[in-house]
Amino acid sequence: MSAPTSSTKTSTPEAAKPVSAPTPMMAQFLEIKAANPDSLLFYRMGDFYELFFSDAEIAAAALGIALTKRGKHLDQDIPMCGVPVHAADDYLQKLIGKGYRVAVCEQLEDPAEAKKRGSKSVVRRDVTRLVTPATITEEKLLNPTDTSYLVAVGRVKADGDALALAWIDITTGQFRLMESDAKRLLPDLMRIGPKEIVVAEPVYHDELLKSAFEQFGRTVSLQPAVLFDSATAAQKLAKFYDVQTMDSFGDFSRAELSAAAGALAYIEKTQIAERPSLQRPERESENSLLFIDPATRLNLEIERTLNGSRDGSLLKAIDRTVTGGGARLLAERLRAPLTDCSEINQRLDAVSFFLSEDDLGQKLHALLKSMPDMPRAISRLSLNRGGPRDLAAIANGLKVTRSIFDVLAGCEMLPQEIQAASDNLAMAPDDVHQLLESALGEELPLLKRDGGFVRNGYNAELDEMRGLRDQSRRIIAELQSKYAEDTGVKSLKIKHNNVLGYFIEVTALNAGPLTQTDDAKGKYIHRQSLANAMRFTTTELADLESKIASAAGRALAIEIGIFDELRDTAVAQADGLRACAQAASVLDVTIALAELAGGQGYCRPIVDDSRAFNITAGRHPVVEQALRKQASAPFVANDCDLSPRADGDNEHGAIWVLTGPNMGGKSTFLRQNALIAIMAQIGSFVPAGAAHIGAVDRLFSRVGASDDLARGRSTFMVEMVETAAILNQAGPNSLVILDEIGRGTATFDGLSIAWATIEYLHEQNKCRTLFATHFHELTALSERHNRLANVTIKVKEWNGDVIFLHEVIHGAADRSYGVQVARLAGLPDAVVCRAKNVLEELETQGRESKAATLIDDLPLFSTEIARAAENRSQSSQQHSSKNALNTALEGMTPDEMTPMQAMEALYKLKSIATEKG
């Protein structure tokens, strides 16, 4: 795992070693690099960003580009590589994706200006921006469906080591705070899903916290503790928002203010002179959100599968959104489902509304498909990285939101959530929309420096400059005609050369009208006499020449000025624009969930404050869709009722002990019920015939096997650590999913642990629990614990094979059919046959027999079987035939047989031999 970066480390790269006489340019590079030791330095040289020394070696390897050399340093070649400025974004994306940080060093003056100071003068350069994983804003570097959170961790020792998190998405302006603690730190960080974490070095190295930070490797950036100073944090925040006090923002703890100050300080550090437009910080309460521990979040594959792919995740399966903002909002809701039943049911009401008003939903979704990503456009504009297309995105976004509002305005009795969205849309700044519509042209360049984005007719001076630039020939021709008419000299011409510029030329014989009258002498100024021609100019022509010469530059300057005015106007309305965008995202998510429910046959769950958990005909949302795509057998729906038992303790949830065969669908059944709970609590309909769910406050899942060798933990140790976390944290309102507890150790050890775990969950945690196991002995616990019930996966045996029916029924399994599954997996036939024999002997002698007592009865592989393993098919047939013949022969007593019985016995043996091949 990569170590975190630290801006306070005093590393001495090769580039920083003293040199006897470096060139002026290299001396400048070394100075700038020394100020940015933890970043790769993109050093601007003309049309390229060059990298030197170790930076070049790292970048060349990471980007797959050529590593060259430039000059020498300490008698060693200086490694060098470079990337073109026009393609820098692509290379930045690769470097940032691999966890590197980049300092962009630009030329701050024209090279011609530098030469005026002397031949050896170096162009002034400095770092204008630090590019880090959480501070990129370029559209092509961002995934439109992903958030880009920077998380800062603040701690105040004076308040008993109080801990808090602040997270900012610089691309959308979101700014949130919440209190945390050592136990919740890792779950909270995983819920947020940061692109980057900044933390003071003393906090990082705290033994109680370090293990959580280590999970994020290179994502963590160590910063000086002074950035998180809680004593000055409130003043720093007030200064950033240009207010006198933070009192109007809310009552934040010192730890929250410390985290917020650290986050803002890091953003100011990376953005250098630019100030992003951020929303006011909002506090999140841990009690309002469903707590999902890290192992559960991974095991349930909510946003990503275990291999890191989005395909196959719950998010991918349910996402029907059509906007980037909607996709991000849906992901946020999945990361943090609600526990407040009132809010959950408001969301469900909104989904029900669009499910019943399908035409309305389709009409709105059609409008939303053309909705630009306004928050990200605003962010780029506020950081002076935006262009004309970002202004157009705001204009088009306001046009779409106005159309959506007009549609909703015609509806009666909107649900509360939709009405709130409509109210936000009503506050859209129409004046900004009208201004941008009138100012922007149709074809817009990516960058403002390219010009041509202001609509003709918007600015009179700009139109004049464009006319001069684009129609200079026509204007000169018109002036020539005017002068010819005024003087009566039809042969008068206006010409141009590099010495005189524009001039009037007449023949010597026709020069009189330009020189003989007082008016002509005052108007036409003699410039040059030739053998047969005379050349003149006028004040009007000189002014026109000057205007034409500077028209292109002046036109671009006017356009850039207009752009800056439009940008400032839009950024000043950032809060209103974001509110409109958020409303559109809410509508997008709600309509998408309605489409999902209608298309997949989902039902509206009942969500209340009870401890009920009753799912009728529940399905796994991901597996069901996968089966439909494969056109295979339909998904088998199953019930699950963990509600308090009417015949026993009617206050606490039930425990289902699930037994059954491998490959029967136990893990799918476990996961589907956890996913149904998550979907219900984000305000979604669920894949079931009916569902009644008492709001779950904590969700735990211990499914699958993995190790953590980097931290010295075996598979079994990881299993025990995760189980311990569940038993120590689960409460009566929790939902716990456990699969195969105790399988990583000896049989009796594992059985004992599983036994004690069930009893603890029943007596102490008293939570709703699904407990899958192959320890069939645990089914006996139902006789002594009134909230415990046995269920199993139904199977059918046919001709020695097992058929998985994937149906959950009440009862207990007496077999796991592991040998049959081993055969399906392709184990050598000899191994499968041997396993059957061993299993038969073990079952005959009883499960409580010890292996040592079986050594004589179960010898090691015979020579014949060992040889047979070399030829699977033949050895299997021979072994099977030998067993059947031996069984038949053992039942025969030749001395007591009649001739007829002996003949029948022979036919029987022949039949067995023929059947076995």
Which single residue is written with the structure tokens 């403002």? 448
Fill in the DSSP letter of residue 123.
P
Highest mean pLDDT among 292-306, 387-401, 845-859: 387-401
pLDDT value of residue 273: 82
Cα–Cα distance measured from residue 387 to residue 26, given in angstroms and rounded to the nearest whole number: 34
Q: What is the CA 671 to chain-centroid distance, rounded?
A: 22
Highest mean pLDDT among 18-22, 444-448, 715-719: 444-448
Q: Residue 827's pLDDT band (boundaries 50, 70, 90)? A: confident
* pLDDT over 90 at 267, yes or no: yes
* Residue type at 588 in one-letter notation: D
Cα–Cα distance measured from residue 538 to residue 503, given in angstroms and rounded to the nearest whole number: 8
Highest mean pLDDT among 357-361, 497-501, 739-743: 357-361
* pLDDT over 90 at 547, yes or no: no
Torsion of the alpha carbons at 683, 684, 686 and 690, rounded to the nearest 10: 50
* pLDDT over 60 at 146, yes or no: yes
* pLDDT over 80 at 872, yes or no: no
The Cβ of residue 665 has, within 10 Å, a number of other Cβ atoms equal to 23
* pLDDT over 70 at 795, yes or no: yes
CA angle, 583 as apex, 568 and 445 as ends, to 5°? 40
* pLDDT over 50 at 435, yes or no: yes
Burial of 251 (0-12, 13-18, 19+ CB in 10 A): exposed
Average pLDDT over residues 328-348: 96
* pLDDT over 90 at 721, yes or no: no
pLDDT value of residue 915: 58
Q: Tell me whether strands 613-618 and 606-608 are parallel, antiparallel or unpaired.
A: unpaired
Average pLDDT over residues 900-913: 70
pLDDT value of residue 712: 55
What is the token pair recorded at 762?
A: 């029943």
pLDDT value of residue 89: 87
Q: Which residues contribute to the annotated binding site for ATP?
A: 660-667
Radius of gyration of the chain (CA): 39
pLDDT value of residue 883: 63
pLDDT value of residue 804: 75
Cα–Cα distance measured from residue 842 to residue 848, given in angstroms and rounded to the nearest whole number: 9
Specify the DSSP element, H or E, that contains 795.
strand 788-798
Q: Phi first, then psi: give them for residue 706, nearest 5 degrees.
A: -155, 160
What is the token pair recorded at 800?
A: 């020695």
Q: pLDDT: is 3 or 273 the higher one?
A: 273
Q: Are 398 and 581 in contact (CB under 8 A)?
A: no
Q: Residue 5's pLDDT band (boundaries 50, 70, 90)? A: low
pLDDT value of residue 713: 65
pLDDT value of residue 741: 85
Query: CB-based contacts of 770: which residues, under 8 Å, 6+ apart?
Result: 640, 642, 655, 656, 658, 669, 670, 673, 736, 737, 738
What DSSP assignment string belongs to 263-316?
A: HHHHHHHHHTT-----PPPEE--GGGB-EE-HHHHHHTTSSS-TTS-STTSHHH
pLDDT tens by residue, 63-104: 999 999 888 877 788 999 999 998 898 899 899 888 899 999
pLDDT value of residue 864: 44
Cα–Cα distance measured from residue 698 to residue 902, given in angstroms and rounded to the nearest whole number: 73
* pLDDT over 80 at 9, yes or no: no
Average pLDDT over residues 54-58: 94
Q: Are 668 and 793 in contact (CB under 8 A)?
A: no
Which single residue is written with the structure tokens 């014949």? 864
Q: Residue 852's pLDDT band (boundaries 50, 70, 90)? A: very low
- 814: nearest Cα among 845, 780, 841: 780
What is the token pair recorded at 212?
A: 């959580």
* pLDDT over 90 at 405, yes or no: yes
* pLDDT over 90 at 279, yes or no: yes
Q: 412-444 burial, b for 16+ CB within 10 Å, e for fewer?
A: eebbebbeebbebbeebbeebbebbeebbeeeb
The Cβ of residue 182 has, within 10 Å, a number of other Cβ atoms equal to 15
Instruction: Spell out the long-range contacts of 526-531 with Cβ–Cβ below 8 A and sequence spacing 24 or more.
Output: 527/500, 527/503, 528/500, 528/503
**Could you give the residue ranges of the DSSP H alpha helices within 110-242?**
111-116, 185-192, 201-204, 210-214, 230-240
pLDDT value of residue 633: 79
* Residue type at 411 in one-letter notation: C
pLDDT tens by residue, 513-534: 888 887 787 899 999 999 889 9
Cα–Cα distance measured from residue 82 to residue 80, given in angstroms and rounded to the nearest whole number: 7
Domains of the chain, each with CATH number or no CATH:
5-131 (3.40.1170.10), 140-284 (3.30.420.110), 319-429+574-599 (1.10.1420.10), 460-560 (1.10.1420.10), 602-816 (3.40.50.300), 827-915 (no CATH)
Q: Residue 865's pLDDT band (boundaries 50, 70, 90)? A: very low
Average pLDDT over residues 772-795: 88
Q: Are 619 and 637 in contact (CB under 8 A)?
A: yes
What is the token pair recorded at 344?
A: 């959950």
Q: Tell me whether strands 698-702 and 735-739 are parallel, antiparallel or unpaired.
A: parallel
Q: What is the pTM of this model?
A: 0.83
What DSSP assignment string belongs to 521-570?
A: HHHPEEEEE-SSEEEEE-HHHHHHHHHHHHHHHHHHHHHHHHHHHHHHHH
pLDDT value of residue 15: 46
What is the token pair recorded at 214?
A: 């280590």
The Cβ of residue 167 has, within 10 Å, a number of other Cβ atoms equal to 28
Average pLDDT of every residue of the chain:
86
Q: Which residues contribute to the annotated binding site?
A: 660-667
